[in-house]
A and B are shown apart, each in its own frame.
Chain A
Amino acid sequence: MKFIVYRYNPDVDTAPHMQEYDVEVTRGMMLRDALMEIKRQDESFAFRHSCGEGVCGSDAVNANGSNLLGCTTPVSDLKEPVNVRPLPGRPVIRDLVVDMSQFYQQYRAVQPYLIHKDPLPEKEMLQSPEDRDKLDGLYECIMCGCCSTACPSFWWNPEKFYGPQALLQAWRFLADSRDQATEERLDALEGPYKLFRCHSIMNCVEYCPKSLNPTKAIGKIKELMLKHSI
């Protein structure tokens, strides 16, 4: 099977180029296996990967125009020749390795941690199964970046718009019955850019490899914001 892969090493290349590789496909092969095979053929090829089972989020790439995880994408699902590129809109460090610093900054900007102000109980803070269910679809995010790097609002305003991943996290804490910082969280999302640059294009939903729905989470924040401002 033919793979056409984005190559750029600033140490030796003056410009990026696409390089072709032939990989013998075996049954059950995932895109990550194919990339590892390319690495065997060509030691100089660089990409991130680790768990191999869709839980660590390292090996997000763009294949045939879609953002996806290499380790959970069967090559048999991909049309030949397979074009493999780095996640869009991020500075390329080398080959498929992109600089995700901004993405992580946005994550940190939403205060992605539980804030509880009352004295803590000796045992667990109680939470009903119904309240816990509200976190399903939110806490599973693996921070692979497939959503944010597929979002046009994120491409246009990466310094100001927080992007789907960070906003999903913002909602994960707003939705947690144990969190006691709702006011501050909503105040911190005020303004025309951080939250409101989401135009419900829904690329994030299409590309999330964990089937999460950042657009819906953003909608929930907007609703809460509205109630909060009344």
Chain B
Amino acid sequence: MRRTMPMAMLAMLVAAHATASPQRAVPGAGWSRVPVLGTGGQQTFHRYCWECHGDGPDRPGTLALQVKYRGEVPARLDQRTDLTADFVIATVRHGISVMPSMRKTEIGDAELNAIAAYLARKR
């Protein structure tokens, strides 16, 4: 049997089924749990993307990007400055790895454009 699953995932899996076990982990410093809702693109980003790409130890998208880029670019999408709107739209409609594709009934074109423009904004 393949043996590749890391400790973090074991924790995840067991946590998925056990969670509030008596030995709870120590809080990670500086994680902001509740997103501050802005308007337009930011708000839409928070509504649709934050659960995976937000800030915190339990965001699969952020964790995956942290490992992928090793700090070369921020793991949080809303802190990136290298994203293009086209790339964001293509990824949302096609999915990538365990992130599935999103249909127009889930995120409409107008909302997706707003998210893409927000993430592609240059600061």
Q: Do A and B come from one complex?
A: no
